[in-house]
Amino acid sequence: MTKPLKPPIWLFTLIRILIGWHFLYEGLVKLLNPNWSSALYLLESTWIFSEFFKSIALNPNLLAIVNFLNIWGLLLIGCGLFFGLLTRISAISGAALLLLYYVAQPPFTGIILSGNVEGSYLWVNKNLIEFVTLILLFRLPQKWLFSIDNLLVEWKKDKKEGKRTGAIEVPQNDNPVFSDLPVLDRRRVIKNLVSIPILGGFSYAILKNFGYESYEEKSLKIDGTSSASVKTRNFAGLSELKEKPPMGKIGNLEVSRLICGGNLIAGFAHSRDLIYVSRLLKTYFTNEKIWETFRLCEAAGINSAIVRTASDTIKVMNRYWKLGGNIQWLAQTYPKDDDVITNSQWAIDSGASAVYIQGNIADRWLAAGRLDLFEKWINHFQGKGVPIGIGGHELDVVKAMEENNFPVDFYMKTLHPNNYWSYQSDEPKPAVNTNSKDNYWSRTPNETIDYMKNVDKPWIAFKTLAAGALKPKEGFKYAFENGADFACVGMFDYQVVEDCNILADTLKNIPGRTRKFF
């Protein structure tokens, strides 16, 4: 007779514990992060129930309920699976929760994020894999898993049959069959509590992620919130937004006073001699992360972003709009000496709300005495339905436009103080069209402030943080107190709300401003 196969109890138990770990960890991370919200995940939904999910995200009361149920659902399901307590209920509840995740953002190519979501392979992602596995655990016989459930069942049997836990009653007959006796010996208890030793590693992982670190780990890390500053883990979330940035106008276009800059998402960090930073930025800012950052900007009241005009960025912007985003694109364009039209026209045709000549190009044209190129560009795009502007690192660019009465709608001009840590007072003026020199961004801030007082066009200040060398609180105050109408700032997603709050405090306390807001 063929011996029946013994079920792989240890393997099934390990699978249950691993999935329980995943649920429990996800729940604890969200619980310990007061800024976490499911809003962004729900807003990204574009499948059959997308309108329902988005309506939840846009309703603060419903969103609070969903966040609560999500966190505690993950925690309770995770505990149940990890310890093997109410395993069937935990498994089917976990499967239901994963099904909701899958429906909200399925990995169908061409429907959600072009199929580029981490762990997605056309139809399959980790949510679907764990969903099927939990259905399997739900269907397995309970005795095929080591669990607290089994201990409770055996304890009830012992109690019912009048046996003391851990003891065997002396049989009355001579040849008893011991294999059927429900005995709670030490070996069975240890097997069914197999997940307890793993709990130590789990606890250490959580503690390490939320502050249980060595002195060196705490001392040597640098916070990305405001460049070289004291480390902090408490990034502000939407629930902590004080107020949305106020709006101003550039031509007929309504623009938030704080504008999302595009250098970070393009990998242009201006990180001085840290040559590896640009690659890190490009790795961090995947298309999905760019869209997530834009979503957060819009939710916080930032309605515009300045992004360069190139094929990759146009694809990102167009895809974002198709996903339901509405952020305005103020296009940084790159006209050529022998073709001043094509690049800027490409931006307008691709949905740009405003266009301007990139600062390095304007600096170079002026240094070469090519006012004719400015005039040709302005004459072509004036009156085409979008505001047009001129960028510049050098104040002479703005002076030339004003002195020649060129009818531009706005200026992009650098502004920041020269008291940052890497400033070099004896640094010579660099050749144009280079960012290699540390002080190139705003060499003459005092002269810029004095001149711009009498310029009656909107002024977007950029490089307000000296390419990451200044904290936002200091950079914002300097820019707006000294006449800027808008500030273009590169932001990571976790900096958006904090920057909006800093702006709100700044605009309430700028008594030194003499230039009116445009």
Which of helix, strand or coil describes residue 39? helix
- Does residue 243 sit in the same domain as residue 202? no
- Does residue 396 sit in the same domain as residue 305? yes
Structure token pair of residue 54:
């988005």
Domain assignment present for 155: yes
Domain assignment present for 362: yes
Q: What is the pLDDT of residue 127?
A: 81
Domain assignment present for 195: yes
Pairing of β 247-250 and β 253-256? antiparallel
Domain assignment present for 222: no
Query: How crowded is residue 450: how many other Cβ atoms within 10 Å of its Cβ?
Result: 13
- Does residue 402 sit in the same domain as residue 338? yes
Q: pLDDT (tens digit, 0 to 9) for every residue of the chain, 518 residues total?
A: 455 666 787 788 888 888 888 898 888 888 888 778 888 778 777 777 878 888 887 788 888 898 899 899 999 998 888 888 888 888 888 888 888 888 887 776 555 444 345 555 667 778 888 888 888 888 888 777 777 777 777 677 666 655 444 443 434 443 434 333 344 455 555 556 556 666 666 665 665 555 554 444 444 444 433 334 444 446 777 888 999 999 999 999 999 999 999 877 776 777 666 777 777 877 888 888 888 899 999 999 999 999 999 988 899 999 889 888 899 999 999 999 999 999 999 999 999 999 999 999 999 999 999 999 999 999 999 988 999 999 999 999 999 999 999 999 999 999 999 887 777 776 666 555 555 555 567 888 999 999 999 999 999 999 988 878 889 999 999 999 999 999 999 988 889 999 999 999 999 988 888 899 88
Closest CA to 445 of 411, 400, 482, 476: 482
Sequential DSSP letters for 64-79 = HHHHHHHHHHHHHHHH
- Does residue 295 sit in the same domain as residue 419? yes
Q: What is the pLDDT of residue 245?
A: 95
Range of 242's domain? 238-507
- Does residue 16 sit in the same domain as residue 131? yes
DSSP 225: B
Number of domains in the chain: 2
Q: What is the pLDDT of residue 79?
A: 87
Q: What is the pLDDT of residue 414?
A: 92
- Does residue 326 sit in the same domain as residue 387? yes
H-assigned helices in 336-385: 342-349, 359-367, 371-381
- Does residue 293 sit in the same domain as residue 398? yes
Domain assignment present for 474: yes
Closest CA to 344 of 396, 390, 305, 405: 390
Domain assignment present for 459: yes
Q: What is the pLDDT of residue 199?
A: 61
Structure token pair of residue 451:
């001149």
CATH number at residue 297: 3.20.20.100
Pairing of β 388-392 and β 410-414? parallel
User: How far, in Å, are 98, 105, 300, 323, 448 from residue 45 at the CA level?
Assistant: 15, 5, 19, 8, 46
- Does residue 375 sit in the same domain as residue 491? yes
Domain assignment present for 219: no
- Please give the distance of CA 333 from its chain centroid, rounded to a whole number: 26
Using CA atoms, how far apart are residues 30 and 25, in angstroms rounded to an integer? 9
Q: What is the pLDDT of residue 273?
A: 67
- Does residue 308 sit in the same domain as residue 249? yes
Q: What is the pLDDT of residue 440?
A: 62
Contact call for residues 84 and 150 (beta carbons, < 8 A):
yes
Which of helix, strand or coil describes residue 124? strand
Closest CA to 148 of 200, 98, 199, 72: 199
Domain assignment present for 171: no
